[in-house]
Structure 1
Amino acid sequence: MRRIARAALVVVLAVAGAMHFTWGRRGFRLAVPDAVPRATGLSKDQVVLWSGAVEIGLAAALTGAAARARVGGSASALRRVGTIVAVFFVAVFPGNIHHWRSGRSVPGLDTDAKRFARLFLQPVLVAWALWSTREPARR
């Protein structure tokens, strides 16, 4: 079950990352809090592009770590990547809050209720990243 959850997480990361470069780019720009460009010196568009690249990179790292763990490699690398993915999900959460508070619509999040409900997805993503990258104890 964890292997399936990991594979699904890879797909979610890769698709979300690709969306940062394509049709979802405008919506992601709306989610970037105003403080981020001030703090980083990057434009909102650059933040979106970099975060998309990070998501694609995380999908690749997760794929590689899972493959190594399957062929007898250490599961610790898989746990580390899972932790990094979880930290990434925590790091982008202020963008979800900013998007909800701004009340700006994007495809799929076109009401206050949907934007508010989206906030509750982030802890699920964090738990998903952590759970799917921990192998259960062998009996």
Structure 2
Amino acid sequence: MRVIARLWLGASLTFAGISHLSFSRQEFRAQVPAWVPVDEDLVVLASGVVEIVLGLALLFAVRRWRPIVGVVVAVFFVAVFPGNIGQWREHVDAFGLDTDGKRFTRLFFQPVLIAIALWSTGGWSWLRDRFGR
């Protein structure tokens, strides 16, 4: 199950990154919160590249590096979470999230993605071994 979860997450991130750079670029631009002091297109392009790199790392990293990749992916999901909150608070429609209820519900999936990134790569154990107790 861990391998399947890691491969699913890696493929999903890679696909999302490609979509940032191409066919969904406009929808991703709409999701960049108004308070971000950087050009929204730059944010979308940069986050797309980061998602592709992280997705490919989840798919192809050797076993020794997977826990570190999982932690980095989890940190990325934490970093983009304010954008999800912004989409909800600013009432931005994108990707079928066309009501505040749908946008609010989406917020609860970010911790699930963080947990999957850590669990599927051994990131939990890696963190516990280094920072536990």
Q: Same fold (TM over 0.5)?
A: yes
Identity of aligned residues (%): 54
Q: 2:83 pairs with 83, 91, 95, which one? A: 95
Correspondence 1:1-139 to 2 at 5 A: 1-36=1-36, 38=37, 42-65=38-61, 68-69=62-63, 74=64, 77-134=65-122
RMSD of Structure 2 on Structure 1 (CA): 1.8
What SS does structure 1 have at the residue aligned with 2:33?
A: coil
Which structure is larger by alpha-carbon Rg, 1 or 2? Answer: 1
Runs of 4+ in 1 over 3 A off after TM superposition: none
Measure the CA separation in 1 of the matches of 2:53 and 2:19.
14
TM-score, structure 2 as length reference: 0.86
- Report the count of equivalent residues: 125
Q: What's the TM-score, normalizing by structure 1?
A: 0.83
Label 1:88 to 1:135 Cα distance change in 2 as closer, same or farther (>3 A).
closer
Flag structure 1 segments of 5+ consecutive residues without an equivalent.
Answer: none
Q: Could you list the runs of 5+ residues in structure 2 that have no partner in the other structure?
A: 126-133
